[in-house]
Structure 1
Amino acid sequence: MSAMTNGSAKATPASRTPSGAGPRAVALIGPQGSGKSSLFDALLTAAGSSPPRRTEARARVMGTETRLGHCTWMGEDWALLDCPGSVEFGQEATAALAIADIALVVCEPDPARAAALAPAFHALERAGLPAMVFVNKADSMGEGRIRDTIAALQAHSRRPLVLRQVPIREAGEVAGYVDLVSERAYRWRRGEPSELIRIPEAMQSREAEARAALAEALADHDDALLEKVVEDTIPTPEDLYRPLHADVVAGGLDPVLFGSAERRHGVMRLWKALRHDAPYPAETAARHGVEAEGEALAQVFRTLHAGHGGRLSFARIWRGTLKDGATVNGARIGGITRFPAGEAAKVAEAGAGEVVALGRLDTVSTGATLSPSGAAPALPFPAPPAPVYALAIVNEDRKDDVRLSGALQRLAEEDPSLTVLHDAETGQILLGGQGDIHLGHAVARLAEAHGLRVTTARPRIAFRETIRQAARHHARHRRQTGGHGQFADVTLEVTPRPRGEGFAFEDRIVGGAIPRKFIPAVGDAAAEASHQGPLGHPVVDIAVALLDGAFHSVDSSDMAFATATRMAMQEALAKAEPVMLEPIDHVTILVPQDGTPAAQRLLSGRRGQILGFAEKEDWPGWDEVQALVPEAELHDLIIELRSLTMGLGTYTRRFDHLAEARGR
């Protein structure tokens, strides 16, 4: 590798590579449009592993699934995971973060889009994962300043973001950079290695100022460097490399680099920073609580049903070696696949640190730990987000209903952020997910991978009924059919109960008007009759009292009294001023603060009762808006919310109470 590339050999001394350290894994995360996939391709190309040519099918996968590519850089093996940028496919990214050694946060040099990085920064904090930031498309900055972008990003990250480079400008455009640690300057050259140049004289004061700020940030956790900073002694590159590496590995700060993936600018420098500062698998395993000694241990982070290729379980091997044909968790591994340059290649075995796909582990779920004994302890793995959008799914061909059930189960295995629910009340099969694009992709997968075509509809709401006033009704059931007949006579009174108190039955019979043995049948029939009221929905929060009645010593029976009770209930409920009840949910919307007024207007326009709003704890610049909203108004709330907040808003919900249904 030429010394004229983006960095110097001194920046990554071989002595920093521990013997037998194993392959490292990097997860590329960031919002749509930031150029993650271009950077993924550029990193592979720089490492001599040209990625496969993009096709329409491959482009669709890039937007919805994590791409895995293996390569070798300066003698070390790497696994790159290109995660989807859409919030609707965020589970793919959080799963990759669970097994990566370091995250590479990719963003654009636009301060106005900094809020889009907030979910990524908070996911990193939850995972405790070290990270670097790569400001992509730096060649398009124009007169914009990298400092402004970092300041905007810092408002959404609790970790310090530390600039590793300062841009060199020529003719008003970013043309290269000065590395603040090595104090070397480089001019980018498209299609060629960068040119090593002298630090421009006009930049020397800015470079010194930025290097001093880097030293001060690193000195917070390094006494030797702090002493030099206090004494105004200029630190050497090694004085900065040592604490920088320690802080990155510990997740104490995130270094910021920049470049242009499309033009391959800054990619070599990024590779060298990753090689120098990314933790090794053993360090990551220790952070997860994996002991160094013991049987082979791996963790599944993604499941894919690959058609004729069968089920693939993508896993990170934390300890030991797995061989093709070995048994883990009671199942036999049916093939081990690596992905050099993103293309599948079978291997006989895989060792600690590797990210591979294991075949035919049909009983193993995403997040599971694997070991030959099957007794490995569970390792941390992110829970999927709750669904925010749902559709009712109906097969176009009803003969395929059994196949549909199995296909939906496989989809949910591949993507844990999808939920499948059979609503016993409405009879609908509900597919829940993170938005209309997410569910649209799932429906397309049903057609492409499983040959099932379905229609979708809005889920029906589980309305209820209650009554506003008391009513009583007398009913007599008499039938003579030869032999024993049927006879029962009841007088019932129905009265409303406070909301949420449910159904109650009371026996007020005196003087033996109805024998005790028939009373339970009356109570059971009254409860059963409340399952569908005069408006067509279950009736709740009512009390039913049996006031009077009559019987026949021969013709009365439990069946006769049940029939008479249902007749009385039907008429009494119709006279008791029935009213429809709709479910009301407690909704918590999370939005950037400049989107709070729009979120409140959105909720109010959907019959919502605003309860208040406040800044979300540990999310500076973001608000939580609380409201009570009818469930009937929530179906497409996420679609409109995201359109009002540049795709950033989201919400959670929980059932709160039932209330009388009112129109808009």
Structure 2
Amino acid sequence: MNSGPNEARSPSRRPRAVVLIGPQGSGKSTLFEALLAAAGSPPGRRNGDARQRAMGTEARLGHCTFMGDAWALLDCPGSVEFAQEQAAALAVADLALIVCEPDPGRAATLAPAFHALEAAGLPAMVFVNKADTLGETHVRDTLAALQAHSRRPLVLRQVPIREGGEVTGYVDLVSERAYRWRRGAPSDLIRIPEQMMAREAEARAALAEALADHDDSLLEMVVEDTVPTPDDLYRPMHADVVAGALDPVLIGAAERRHGVLRLWKALRHDVPGPEVTAARRGIAQEGEALAQVFRTLHAGHGGKLSFARIWRGAVKDGATLGGGRIGGITRYMGGEAAKVPEAGMGEVVALGRLESAATGDVLSPSGSAPTLPFPAAPQPVFALAIATEDRKDDVRLSGALARLAEEDPSISVIHDAEAGQILLAGQGDLHLGHAVARLAEAHGVRVATSRPRIAFKETIRHPARHHARHRRQTGGHGQFADVTLEVAPRTRGDGFVFEDRIVGGAIPRKFIPAVGEAAEEAARRGPLGNPVVDVQVTLLDGAFHSVDSSDMAFATATRMAMQEALSKAEPVVLEPVDQVTVLVPQDGTAAAQRLLTGRRGQILGYAEKPDWPGWDEVQALVPESELHDLIIELRSQTMGLGTYTRRFDHLAETRAR
């Protein structure tokens, strides 16, 4: 393929990092493989387990060289359930390559990605994949649908050529060159078809106008109706991409290798170097070596791997970094893991056996490294109770869970002492299914899963009083205690309280603490089998024996009185109710409200989410027992986009569905 003006020039000779992101089904991983193949680096076997790579549940790293420049490509999972992998990779990238299908109806699936990139100020390009399937759809319709979800201008860099109702190539608007695709081979340079002239001129004028917004000399040309040269467009486009001022849009078909070389040349020209990215993140170029860990992997016999971007200086195998000694530096070049003695500024590599390094850590030889922003893990939206299939694995489970959570910060391990369960919490059923499989395959611990128990409580509706006497006579001292207790409801959330109203010494003061402790203990399991909350227990009267009374006797009498009094006070079950905030595209708002009300939810209101055009937040109060699989149904009704956050709000009497 012939090169256009300036395409032989690269803005940085240091290794650059590009992250591929996009929804499932967009062909993102196919493009990843195509880019590596076009750079002469066959896919082969890359880091991570083959089955999980096929499922698209793990990020993949590939190294290659294109036209003399070194690159690291990161292919992120497309499922929203693995968004943390994507967010972590973006934190160390120079540019994000957004991959999408030419279907305007699926444009909303890119909204979270656009928002994340805009918030981070990260440069981006858009690659409309599967352009050979456009049919009657116009790429400008796809562009308009995408623009509705992006605050940055999206500008066409290429327009498709149609022949016989099929897309067979494209016109590059900057170089004004036309190409016809050839499967598995470089495209043919052709003359711009006559019927494309008007459309090409219109699209090129729109590109020039968008670039002129930030370039005075180009603005003057546009105002004076002067046709800009390719160089007049290359210069401001590079500046705008690096600044995150706009996202150029290219087209192709990765499966057929169409448009891949042209994409490579656009990346080579416009992706900023690591020194530019470091400056944007506030990292000075003077000083000791600096690396940031963005992913952790426990690789069995290979030990712990810390995938990191080198932001400054160079790191050598065996050197001290972040308080640990590097036990191997790995690149993934030519389809194979290759050990290298050193990694320099800009490289993305796996550092071996840094046991104390965690995902997000910034490492330096002295251990005195600056703190750099790193995405926080999202709140869990799905949980499973887990238990080992073989009790002999109980001892190993704790360590395996710790390693699992270290690999994936969006996994939470919760020890629910009240329910007597270990909970694995994450971003959905696929996410936790992958976690359970990894526990077995990578950490050697097989677990069974079940639905978590809900922490039901109970309380009473009316006051009740009961008198209980405990008397037992055996050889020697016997046991004697007599108490009269009253239980009464308190305001929700006020908790348990014990009050002593004994007068006249009916019960000696030394026995009163035993009564209070026994009453509180008895409230831990009420007549309906749940902990009793929001009650007041009052000791009204009693009797004692100078010889046979004791703390133990009064505790026994108190438990007897509590059991009967609570049973007579009309006990009711309380369930936890959470305040839920659901985030959905606006065309899914009505469906989300129906879903919540169908789960006994009380809608509190909804409004457009600030800085998220086209998205709503729905507020509701929903019983916790209805939230277990809410995320599954919510995503099924919103193209996988809906999500929610929750926090405990109050306890309420259970209501039948």
TM-score, scaled to structure 2: 0.97
- Look up the equivalent residue of 2:285 and give its one-letter code: A
1:561, CA displacement in angstroms? Answer: 2.2
How big is each residue's C-alpha offset from its partner over 1:374-417, in whole Å with a ceiling of 9 and x where there is no partner? 11022111011111111111111111101122111111111111
1:34, CA displacement in angstroms? Answer: 0.4
Aligned match of 1:317:
310
1:52 aligns with 2:52: no
Aligned match of 1:34:
26
- For residues 489 and 607 of structure 1, what CA distance do their matches in structure 2 show? 46
1:25 to 17, 30, 37: 17
- For residues 7 and 545 of structure 2, what CA distance do their matches in structure 1 show? 99
Aligned match of 1:96:
89
- For residues 312 and 558 of structure 1, what CA distance do their matches in structure 2 show? 59
- For residues 478 and 340 of structure 1, what CA distance do their matches in structure 2 show? 83
How big is each residue's C-alpha offset from its partner over 1:509-539, in whole Å with a ceiling of 9 and x where there is no partner? 2222222333222222212211111111110
Gaps of at least 5 residues in structure 2 are none
How big is each residue's C-alpha offset from its partner over 1:201-239, in whole Å with a ceiling of 9 and x where there is no partner? 222121111111111111111122222222222222222
Q: Tell me, what secondary structure is at the counterpart of 2:220? A: helix
- For residues 482 and 326 of structure 1, what CA distance do their matches in structure 2 show? 77
Gaps of at least 5 residues in structure 1 are none
Kept in 1: contact 2:253–2:259 (CA 8 A): yes
TM-score, scaled to structure 1: 0.96
Tell me the matched-pair count.
656
1:55, CA displacement in angstroms? Answer: 13
Aligned match of 1:367:
360
1:323, CA displacement in angstroms? Answer: 0.6
Kept in 2: contact 1:84–1:90 (CA 8 A): yes
1:305 aligns with 2:293: no
Alignment of 1:37-116 (within 5 A): 37-52=29-44, 58=50, 60-62=52-54, 63-116=56-109
Aligned match of 1:384:
377
Q: Tell me, what secondary structure is at the counterpart of 1:518? A: helix
Kept in 1: contact 2:46–2:61 (CA 8 A): no
Aligned match of 2:205:
212
Kept in 1: contact 2:11–2:270 (CA 8 A): no
Alignment of 1:277-288 (within 5 A): 277-288=270-281
- For residues 335 and 78 of structure 2, what CA distance do their matches in structure 1 show? 18
Kept in 2: contact 1:590–1:649 (CA 8 A): yes
Kept in 1: contact 2:46–2:332 (CA 8 A): no
- Look up the equivalent residue of 1:348 and give its one-letter code: P
Identity of aligned residues (%): 80
How big is each residue's C-alpha offset from its partner over 1:108-136, in whole Å with a ceiling of 9 and x where there is no partner? 00001111111111121232211000000
- Look up the equivalent residue of 2:30 and give its one-letter code: S
Q: Aligned Cα RMSD in Å?
A: 1.6
1:522 aligns with 2:496: no
Alignment of 1:185-584 (within 5 A): 185-584=178-577
Kept in 2: contact 1:11–1:272 (CA 8 A): no
Deviating more after overlay: 396-405 vs 24-33: 396-405
1:599, CA displacement in angstroms? Answer: 1.4
**Per the alignment, do residues 314 and 459 of structure 1 end up closer, same or farther by CA in structure 2, a change over 3 Å counting?**
same
2:578 to 576, 582, 585: 585
Kept in 1: contact 2:362–2:370 (CA 8 A): yes
1:362, CA displacement in angstroms? Answer: 1.4
Kept in 1: contact 2:596–2:603 (CA 8 A): yes
- For residues 138 and 466 of structure 1, what CA distance do their matches in structure 2 show? 63
Kept in 1: contact 2:5–2:230 (CA 8 A): no
Q: Tell me, what secondary structure is at the counterpart of 2:145? A: helix
- For residues 554 and 121 of structure 2, what CA distance do their matches in structure 1 show? 66
- For residues 108 and 45 of structure 2, what CA distance do their matches in structure 1 show? 33
- For residues 516 and 435 of structure 1, what CA distance do their matches in structure 2 show? 56
- Look up the equivalent residue of 1:72 and give its one-letter code: T
1:620 to 591, 602, 613: 613
Q: Tell me, what secondary structure is at the counterpart of 2:188? A: strand
- For residues 509 and 554 of structure 1, what CA distance do their matches in structure 2 show? 20
1:26, CA displacement in angstroms? Answer: 0.3
- For residues 653 and 53 of structure 1, what CA distance do their matches in structure 2 show? 40
1:9, CA displacement in angstroms? Answer: 4.1
Kept in 2: contact 1:586–1:627 (CA 8 A): yes
How big is each residue's C-alpha offset from its partner over 1:26-48, in whole Å with a ceiling of 9 and x where there is no partner? 00000001011110111111111
Deviating more after overlay: 490-499 vs 559-568: 559-568
1:10, CA displacement in angstroms? Answer: 1.5
Q: Tell me, what secondary structure is at the counterpart of 2:5? A: helix
- For residues 300 and 204 of structure 1, what CA distance do their matches in structure 2 show? 50
1:487, CA displacement in angstroms? Answer: 2.6
1:264, CA displacement in angstroms? Answer: 0.9
- Look up the equivalent residue of 2:627 and give its one-letter code: L
